[in-house]
Structure 1
Amino acid sequence: MSDQFCLQEVIDSFRLSLSDTKEVSLDHYVEGWRGLVKLLNSLGSVFGFISKDAVNKIDILVSLRGGPGGAHYVSLQSMVQYELQSELVDQKQRGGHPESGCRTLLRLHRALRWLQLFLEGLRVSGEDGSPPALCSQAYHQSLAQHHPWLIRTAAGVAFRMLPSRASFLQLMNAGPPEQAVLVLGEALPLLGEVYSITEELYAQHNLLNLP
């Protein structure tokens, strides 16, 4: 894969992450996020505060997957089961196991919601859609509640520097704008399904508010 963002690569990775029984493969989930990091990086250094955090979380998951307990990190479901049974998830404070897979993936899960909402807004907004406004709205519906004031302020500055809708659709690397909109229409239900499966599993085990 090149360093250039390609929406189709993200679609392929997240599609492969879903098994017939709706288990989520961590390897393909991580690959999908590698693609989304390319999108963040293509927007310039102002998005570094989110991009760097995503890369850090990806590295933790890759390390867990390649470590001695890697067999337990084949899927999202097996990871949650293993870490809960092994008491590797601290549900009360940061101390103990701050780099548990469950806690790490939760951060990516929240960011995935932000990108899903933003790209959906971009898809349906039409030619007059404003990426800065759409991105800000999506952020306040998702990530903002989990960020301190300093990060929220930096995010607001970054969003104001986003390109026009037409330029943004070109970044999708999916053909002309109208084609990019069609490809987004294919991608977003897929991202939504992965998000919903994760959300339901985390809610079931009371993991949505891990510190």
Structure 2
Amino acid sequence: MADLDDGKPLRNISEAFKELAATVETQTADVEVAPFSRACSLLSPLFGCLGIAFKFAELDYVAKVNDLAEASKSIGTLQALLDRDIEANTVRKAGSHSRNLLRVKRGLDMVRVLFEQMLATEGNSLRDPASKAYTQVFAPHHGWTIRKAVAAGMYAIPTKAQMLKKLNEDEASARVEMQSYIATSAPLSLYIDSLFLSRELGIDW
């Protein structure tokens, strides 16, 4: 993976996911767990920038990405990761690599929808983009208590300007990197879905 500039989280994310998308698009190589988990770890600061409403998501996401990073020491590809859990009959077991992969993928999807909504929404408020991203991706899998806590936390969500300042970006540079992530994460998400669906595991659990 290319050397990354740690002062620019969005650029780091953009570059890492370009490389993963290139692997998916060749259709000749499987996505490896190590670069996948490393790219996913670069999204962690974004959840932190969204404040208390997404604190649960940040903690959950980081833990599951760390699990995949650990798994990468002994498992080469995402396909092999799923197949190993199928063989051990642990796919749906709490804490399994497969279960964690599915939840990390939802984190990627949430960020993509957030970016789409940010680019489509005028003004400085992040409340509407963040609410739509949460409702579309996470809410169907959460109970009433978590949904209520997130709704309350939305009132303390930072502004778009505050978020971009934390990410060391201006609106113009952020737009380029967000558009890049939207374009590259979509095929990766579909690829992960296909791994589950081709093995008749479903993706809604």
User: Offset of 1:46 from its aligned partner?
Assistant: 4.4
CA RMSD of aligned residues (A): 2.3
Query: Which residue of structure 1 lines up, in the alignment, with residue 85 of structure 2?
Result: 83
Q: For structure 1, which segment, 178-187 or 40-49, has the greater mean C-alpha deviation from structure 2 after superposition?
A: 40-49
- Within the candidate set 24, 40, 44, 1:33 is matched to 40
Inter-CA distance 42–130: structure 2 relative to 1 (3 Å threshold): closer
Contact 2:126 / 2:159 at 8 angstroms: preserved in 1?
yes
User: Offset of 1:188 from its aligned partner?
Assistant: 1.1
Query: Which residue of structure 1 lines up, in the alignment, with residue 163 of structure 2?
Result: 168
Report 1 or 2 for greater relative contact order, CA contacts < 8 Å, sequence distance ≥ 6. Answer: 2
**One-letter code of the match for 1:137?**
K
Structure 1: gaps spanning 5 or more residues: 91-96
2:115 counterpart of 1:119: yes
Contact 2:127 / 2:154 at 8 angstroms: preserved in 1?
yes
Contact 1:170 / 1:177 at 8 angstroms: preserved in 2?
no
Query: Which residue of structure 2 lines up, in the alignment, with residue 180 of structure 1?
Result: 174
Inter-CA distance 131–42: structure 2 relative to 1 (3 Å threshold): closer
Equivalent positions of 1:18-167 (< 5 A) are: 18=21, 19=23, 20-21=26-27, 23-66=30-73, 70=74, 73-90=75-92, 97-126=93-122, 128=123, 130-167=125-162
User: Offset of 1:167 from its aligned partner?
Assistant: 3.0
1:143 aligned counterpart, secondary structure: helix
Inter-CA distance 23–173: structure 2 relative to 1 (3 Å threshold): farther
User: Offset of 1:149 from its aligned partner?
Assistant: 1.1
User: Offset of 1:181 from its aligned partner?
Assistant: 0.8
Equivalent positions of 1:185-204 (< 5 A) are: 185-204=179-198
Q: Calculate percent identity across the aligned residue pairs.
A: 22
Aligned residues: 197
User: Offset of 1:2 from its aligned partner?
Assistant: 8.7
TM, length-normalised to structure 2: 0.84
Contact 2:49 / 2:163 at 8 angstroms: preserved in 1?
no
Deviations 1:11-35 (A, max 9, x none): 2222233423263222122122211
TM, length-normalised to structure 1: 0.82
**One-letter code of the match for 1:165?**
K
Deviations 1:133-160 (A, max 9, x none): 1111111111101011111111112222
Alpha-carbon distance in 2 for matches of 1:117, 1:106: 17
Alpha-carbon distance in 1 for matches of 2:135, 2:145: 14
2:12 counterpart of 1:17: no
Structure 2: gaps spanning 5 or more residues: none
User: Offset of 1:117 from its aligned partner?
Assistant: 0.4
Alpha-carbon distance in 1 for matches of 2:53, 2:159: 16
Contact 1:131 / 1:165 at 8 angstroms: preserved in 2?
yes
Alpha-carbon distance in 1 for matches of 2:14, 2:76: 20
Contact 1:17 / 1:29 at 8 angstroms: preserved in 2?
yes
